[in-house]
């Protein structure tokens, strides 16, 4: 591991502090950056996410992607956790905490909006950031791409009906431009660029791909830290002015994150999935497509609503939580079989048996 990967937690912590500090010292600059958006997708954040995931896209071997169907268990786990478990546990935890446990400190109207924001987070599984988490746990990049792509496809059809059902409304307005543009910016375009780059490098030599990716790796971490600085800078004032509310919202989100991860990780162990598939499969369900959740919350409830605040808190807790889960995945690598090669997780019936 390089300097950036070895001390990633330190860099993220410094990024959080820098974001809050800069957001308080120069709010105008962050407001100007926040205004650089199209279809409620911030273009500057999109660039940094691009920097993060482009190196991972270069590693994707399309010959291996075509063989994913030979080993579908990881896909099944991802789909079950993301669409049959996660949205409903998120809604249940929101009701438990804000209508019961936290009822003495939160008025009913605000509680309903906080629950709504949590639901929107629960119905939006991660898209772009999961490529970062997959790389940090040495996941199979080919399988991760398929997992993310299938989830994106399901999200197009399932996001609105599930969210509408859990919110108890029938006129849910989904910002389709945001959903489609985010998918194009965070998945399709980096993927095409990665494919083109890999094709050019493979024509040079077999070692060219690995060498180029190794040189780009530090920039991937820089993109992550820059994204953290921006997100915390955007919300610096809220962090300072509403610490109690943010703390209350963070509690059920933390319970949900670690609970969903535990369910998925234990299921992956029972299924004897290779570590390279199990790690990313569990992290996809734990992380959230926060750009979409924030956009829908703002469009439904307003910029200053409790629902929008809840989705923002989801952004704030996600990076530290995901880094802790990455550490857990890496330390428990011995729990799982390990694929011997890039296609072993796909080609071996039942995966490697260690």
Task: Tell me the per-residue pLDDT of 221-258, one tens digit each, with 9 for 90 and over.
Answer: 788 788 778 877 887 887 788 788 888 999 999 999 99
Instruction: Report the distance separating Cα 27 and Cα 32, nearest Å.
Output: 9
Model confidence, pTM: 0.74
Structure confidence at residue 342 (pLDDT): 42
What's the mean pLDDT when you consider all of the chain? 81
Token duo for residue 245: 């509310």
Residue 40, token pair as written in the block: 């409620």
Q: Are 224 and 7 in contact (CB under 8 A)?
A: no
How many helices and strands, by DSSP H and E, does the chain display?
A: 19, 2
What count of Cα atoms within 13 Å lies in the side-chain half-sphere of residue 342? 11
Task: Give me the phi and psi of 38, to 5 degrees please.
Answer: -140, 130
pLDDT tens-digit series, residues 302-338: 656 788 788 878 877 887 898 899 999 999 998 988 7
Reply yes or no on whether the pLDDT at 290 is more than 80.
Answer: no
For 137, the token pair is 């746990």
- Is residue 182's pLDDT more than 50? yes
Residue 91's closest CA among 110, 114, 118?
Answer: 118
What is the reported pLDDT for 64?
A: 62
Q: Which helix (H) or strand (E) holds 37?
A: strand 37-38
Q: CA–CA separation, 244 vs 98, rounded Å?
A: 14
Measured distance CA(313)–CA(109) in Å, rounded: 18
Tokens representing residue 344 in the block: 């072993």
- The larger pLDDT score, comparing residue 332 to residue 168, is at 332
**59 touches 213 (CB < 8 A):** yes
Q: What pLDDT, on a 0 to 100 scale, did the predictor assign at position 246?
A: 85
What is the structure's pLDDT at 88? 94
From the candidate CATH numbers 3.90.1010.10, 1.20.1530.20, 3.40.50.300, 1.10.3720.10, the one assigned to the domain spanning 3-347? 1.20.1530.20
- pLDDT bin (cut points 50, 70, 90) of residue 216 is confident
Residue 249, C-beta contacts closer than 8 angstroms, at least 6 positions apart? 114, 117, 118, 309, 310, 313
């Amino acid at each position: 591991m390089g300097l950036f990967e070895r001390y990633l937690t330190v860099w993220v912590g410094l990024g959080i502090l820098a974001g809050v500090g800069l957001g308080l010292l120069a709010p105008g600059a962050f407001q100007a950056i926040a205004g650089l958006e199209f279809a409620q997708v911030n273009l500057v954040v999109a660039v940094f996410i691009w920097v993060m995931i482009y190196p991972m896209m270069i590693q994707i071997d399309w010959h291996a992607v075509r063989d994913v169907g030979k080993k579908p268990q990881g896909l099944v786990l991802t789909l079950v956790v993301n669409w049959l478990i996660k949205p409903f546990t998120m809604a249940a935890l929101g009701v438990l905490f804000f209508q019961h446990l936290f009822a003495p400190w939160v008025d009913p109207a605000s509680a309903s909006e906080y629950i709504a924001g949590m639901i929107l987070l629960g119905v939006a599984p991660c898209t772009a950031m999961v490529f970062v988490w997959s790389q940090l746990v040495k996941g199979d990049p080919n399988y991760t791409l398929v997992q993310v792509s299938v989830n994106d496809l399901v999200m197009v059809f399932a996001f609105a009906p599930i969210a509408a059902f859990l919110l108890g409304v029938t006129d849910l307005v989904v910002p389709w431009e945001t959903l489609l543009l985010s998918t194009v910016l965070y998945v399709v375009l980096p993927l095409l660029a990665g494919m083109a780059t890999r094709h050019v490098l493979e024509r040079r030599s077999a070692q060219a791909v690995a060498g180029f990716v190794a040189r780009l790796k530090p920039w991937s971490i820089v993109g992550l830290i820059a994204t953290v600085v921006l997100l915390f800078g955007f919300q610096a004032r809220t962090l300072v002015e509403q610490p109690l509310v943010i703390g209350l919202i963070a509690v059920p989100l933390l319970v949900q994150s670690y609970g969903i991860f535990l369910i998925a990780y234990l299921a992956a162990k029972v299924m004897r999935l290779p570590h390279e598939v199990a790690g990313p499969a569990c992290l996809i369900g734990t992380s959230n497509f926060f750009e979409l959740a924030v956009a829908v919350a703002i469009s439904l409830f307003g910029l200053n609503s409790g629902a929008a605040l809840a989705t923002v808190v989801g952004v704030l807790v996600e990076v530290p939580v995901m880094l802790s889960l990455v550490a857990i995945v890496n330390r428990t690598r011995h729990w799982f079989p390990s694929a011997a090669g890039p296609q072993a997780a796909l080609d071996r019936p039942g995966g490697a048996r260690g």
